[in-house]
Amino acid sequence: MSELTAQLSNRFSDAYRHLVLADLRRELLRIEETKPSASDLAYLISTASRLALNADIDSPVAGAQCQLAYDIAVRAPRFANGSRDIVMPLCEAILSRIGNFPARRLLVDANMELKRVSDPFVDLESAVREEENKFEDTPEGVTLTDFQVRLLKALRAKSSVSISAPTSAGKSYTLEHCCPVKTRTESVG
């Protein structure tokens, strides 16, 4: 990912580094002396929104871009101060755009008390993306991440699949719910 941040502007690299360091100081050391500026937060969220547009592309660069977008979307609301009601829906939209609905749910749940400024276009995009990631074989109310959708499609299309993903990507959950489906499909067909 450091190669990707090097390719992006110096402003992005500096603002992103500052956001991560401020968040780590806050979470690990309980030090809140340094905060990203409002203009840097706005710039990072805007960039993250554009990076998240590559979520449908299956490449290492697109994956790294989506990881940066995710990282910004989960960290930025902690520093939004008086503009959290505006920042939250934008970060939720970024997480929807990259298909990380569990992270979006955690973000929403952690900020339930917040009055949100709603944007109907952002809400519509989020609703459509969420609907795209629902499958008939998943339990009611479960929305899969983009990774889980790609894994499910690969399992249905092939007899063997190699899986490599970070912890909590949803490998086990998908396999628990997809392997019986695959077996049933093969025995019927």
CB 65 within 8 A of CB 99: no
**pLDDT, tens digit, for every residue of 84-126?**
888 888 999 999 888 888 888 888 888 777 777 777 888 888 8
Query: What is the pTM assigned to this prediction?
Result: 0.76
pLDDT at 184: 47
Q: How many CA atoms lie within 13 A of 46 on its CB side?
A: 9
Match 């910004």 to its residue by tokens: 72
Residues 6+ apart with CB under 8 A from 35: 22, 79, 81
**pLDDT, tens digit, for every residue of 23-53?**
999 989 988 878 889 999 999 999 999 999 8
- DSSP one-letter string for 34-76: ----HHHHHHHHHHHHHHGGGTT--SHHHHHHHHHHHHHHHHG
Nearest to 79 by CA among 120, 38, 47: 38
Residues 6+ apart with CB under 8 A from 71: 16, 20
Is 5 a residue whose pLDDT tops 60?
A: no
Mean pLDDT over all residues of the chain?
A: 81
**pLDDT, tens digit, for every residue of 61-79?**
888 888 899 999 999 998 9
Per DSSP, the three-state class of 178 is: helix
